[in-house]
Amino acid sequence: MGVLTRVVKAAWAEMNKPKTYVKGDEFEDYVRQRLFPKERYDLLHRTHDYRANESDFVETSKEPDFRFRSRRSGREFLVEAKYRSRLYDGAVEWCKPYQLERYKKINRATLVFIAIGLGGLPSSPGHVYLVPVREIPYRSLFPSFLREYEVRAGQWVNVDRILDQATG
């Protein structure tokens, strides 16, 4: 296959990617660049994107989006990124029931956080929350619950401090 053909196919696939996946990719980039920057966190794993899974589903795509390691402490943790443009019935519906159960099971072995972007744009959300999965009771979360886990939009997250507070 020639270079031009590959470029045209890639452009066509990107133009036809569902909007929800485009928004998800943009928020995942925000999470990596802003919340967990490479200067502070090593990226150990990132799930495959829509294009890779469309033709041949990669089983590890069921895991949270990221596995990071703190450069300061060496602690590893997982992050699932979810962007929602608005509340639905007054809450953020961030997952399906089976996903919550899957993340709770994974959390038994490795700490899992859910990074939720709400409002604004996926690349610049109005609000950002980082919630430990162990604290999440339901798949729909109300703003009154999320408030406790709000982080400054655009500022890196000190996971070591969060972990120290949780254990100390």
Query: pLDDT tens-digit profile of 25-46?
Result: 999 999 999 999 999 999 999 9
Q: Which residues pair with 129 in a beta bridge?
A: 116, 150
* pLDDT of 57: 47
* pLDDT of 60: 52
Would you state the structure tokens that stand for residue 49, as one six-digit string? 């994107």
* pLDDT of 37: 97
Q: What is the CATH number of domain 3-167?
A: 3.40.1350.10
* pLDDT of 65: 95
What DSSP character marks residue 73? Answer: T
* pLDDT of 53: 43
CA dihedral sign, ordered 113, 118, 121, 124: negative
Place of tokens 């041949």: 56
Per-residue confidence of the chain (168 residues) as pLDDT tens digits? 675 555 545 444 544 445 666 888 999 999 999 999 999 999 999 996 655 445 544 555 578 999 999 999 999 999 999 999 999 999 999 999 999 999 999 999 999 999 999 999 999 999 999 999 999 999 999 999 999 999 987 889 998 888 777 655
Place of tokens 């390691």: 69
Phi, then psi, of 107 in degrees rounded to 5? -65, -20
How many contiguous H segments (helices) and E segments (strands) does the chain have?
6, 8
User: What pairing do the DSSP bridges indicate for beta strands 76-84 and 112-121?
Assistant: parallel
How do the domains of the chain map onto residue ranges? 3-167
* pLDDT of 143: 96
- For residues 103 and 117, the answer to whether their CB atoms sit within 8 Å is no
